Amino acid sequence: MNETKQGESLVLNQKPENTKKLFIESYGCAMNFSDSEVVASILFENGFNTTQILEEADLVLVNTCSIRDKAEQTIRKRLQKYNAVKRDVNPKMKVGVLGCMAERLKDKFLEEEKIVDLVVGPDAYKDLPNLLQEVEEGRDAINVILSKDETYGDISPVRLMTNGVSALVSITRGCDNMCTFCVVPFTRGRERSREPQSILKEIEDLWKTGYKEITLLGQNVDSYLWYGGGLKKDFGNASEMQKATAVDFDQLLEMVAVNFPKMRIRFSTSNPQDMHLSILQVIAKYPNICKHIHLPVQSGSNRILAAMNRLHTREEYMKLIDNIRNTIPECSITQDMIAGFPTETEADHQDTLSLMDYVKYDFGYMYSYSERPGTLAGRKMEDDVLETTKLRRLQEIVDKQRKHSAFRTKEFVGKTVEILIEKESKKSDQDWSGRNSQSITAVFPKENYKIGEFVNVKITDCTSGTLIGEAVGYSEMN
């Protein structure tokens, strides 16, 4: 799953009777940000209001990512900051680590380094009140047991980093794809899907409170499958009635689109092996489903894809791209790419560049390979590509992506696109900023429009990542 930038919580839900304050930060993928909203909801019902002021917090939590070493180093620096505030300003403050890094480094944090008071894995958030009680009684607290069925479908998340317009809705947890470079199956466990009615209820609540866009979220949303609960592997043992009433991702997507025709719908992240034609047909059918697919490929080399245990070939991926272009001609496609995976040769790297030329992605998330302890690649493969070679190959990938992004944004110049206004432009307080269906940002003069409105914008210019235009009226989605 692609990464999201870190941000601080907004103080939204406040109870006068809540006497404690929670400061929570999130790093890594969108699922971590969604989980933080679940955590805030659980603690809100147990006496904690949220705060943006670190120094006044009774409890500081950081929701962590383990996907790359750089992410872990960033979080370690934040823990140093928290503990400095605890030492110098607020000795009663408690510090905890949540998420993937918590599961992976639990012993180091609590026993060796002694830099946190509690460690809570991605499936143990409902146990937080009990763990905090243990901390209050002077004991270290830890729960990192991976659940086989927890989806938090019964919890209404407290919306933290929100503009009041767009929200995340988690539909699956965990991952069954054992990519050799990825820690997610070890930190989040097996795939399990959330009951569809609880998903629809959460979206209904969002709609009633004024939200205009939701993102259906999971490590691999396309493998969503609900037939009454349990792991995906149990489906083979399900009764014929259960199979007949099962809901898979294209059915869920259609249910959401039909039930909320004025709500704009996104989803992330997809896996090429599970992106079936039926999903593409649903996307094409409903105008409120955004025409954007994030489709991580990681490499353009069949040899490297096999070493990564990616369950698709270069040719299968290219055929999928053709199906997307034929079924949804206006669809944007974005990527994740890893440079310098173990044993990668110059020929493998050229295969990646040629694949990029074939697809011409709209944008992407590109990284040099970072060995993660506990993964098959970390245990079995030598990290044998020189760092200088990794960085040079990564730069070539980034440079090519910039050219392709510029090519894709230029295609919109002269066209009128529907934009959902999300916020004020970073560069000018006279402009609004929002995204089109293809998830490309557009900026335009504010005039009398407001955040949360759908506006038709005539595109007059662009950069490699931003559309520039003028509003020409409201869209039919209002």
Write the DSSP string, 51-71. Answer: -S-GGG-SEEEEEE--SSHHH
Q: 478 is written with which tokens?
A: 């209002």
User: What average pLDDT score do residues 236-260 get?
Assistant: 79
Residues 6+ away with beta carbon under 8 Å from 223:
172, 176, 191, 232, 249, 271, 274
pLDDT at 147 over 90: no
Helices (H) and strands (E) in the chain, counts: 15, 22
pLDDT in tens, 276-302: 999 999 999 999 999 999 999 999 999
Higher local confidence (pLDDT), 12 or 186 = 186
pLDDT at 411 over 80: yes
Q: Where are the alpha helices (DSSP H) in 266-310?
A: 277-285, 302-307
Residue 67 binned pLDDT confidence (cut-offs 50, 70, 90)? low
Residue 11 binned pLDDT confidence (cut-offs 50, 70, 90)? very low
pLDDT in tens, 173-214: 989 999 999 888 888 888 999 999 999 999 999 999 999 999
pLDDT in tens, 97-120: 998 887 677 777 776 567 888 988
Beta bridge partners of 60: 23, 95
Higher local confidence (pLDDT), 94 or 28 = 94
How does DSSP classify residue 10?
Answer: P
What pLDDT, on a 0 to 100 scale, did the predictor assign at position 404? 98
pLDDT at 233 over 50: no
Q: pTM, whole model, 2 decimals?
A: 0.87
pLDDT at 353 over 50: yes
For residues 141 and 147, what is the distance between their CA atoms, to the nearest angstrom?
Answer: 18
For residues 315 and 317, what is the distance between their CA atoms, to the nearest angstrom?
Answer: 5
Question: How large a percentage of the chain has pLDDT more than 90?
Answer: 69
Peptide bond into 74 cis (omega under 30): no
What pLDDT, on a 0 to 100 scale, did the predictor assign at position 230? 44
Higher local confidence (pLDDT), 319 or 14 = 319
What pLDDT, on a 0 to 100 scale, did the predictor assign at position 8? 37
What pLDDT, on a 0 to 100 scale, did the predictor assign at position 160? 81
The residue count of the chain comes to 478
Across the chain, mean pLDDT equals 90
Q: Where are the beta strands (DSSP E) in 349-462?
A: 363-368, 416-424, 431-435, 441-445, 454-462
Q: 263 is written with which tokens?
A: 């709500």
What's the farthest any 2 CA atoms get from each other in the chain? 65
- Contact by Cβ (8 Å): 365, 3: yes
What pLDDT, on a 0 to 100 scale, did the predictor assign at position 208? 95
Which one, of 39, 7, 6, 17, lies nearest residue 158 by Cα?
Answer: 39
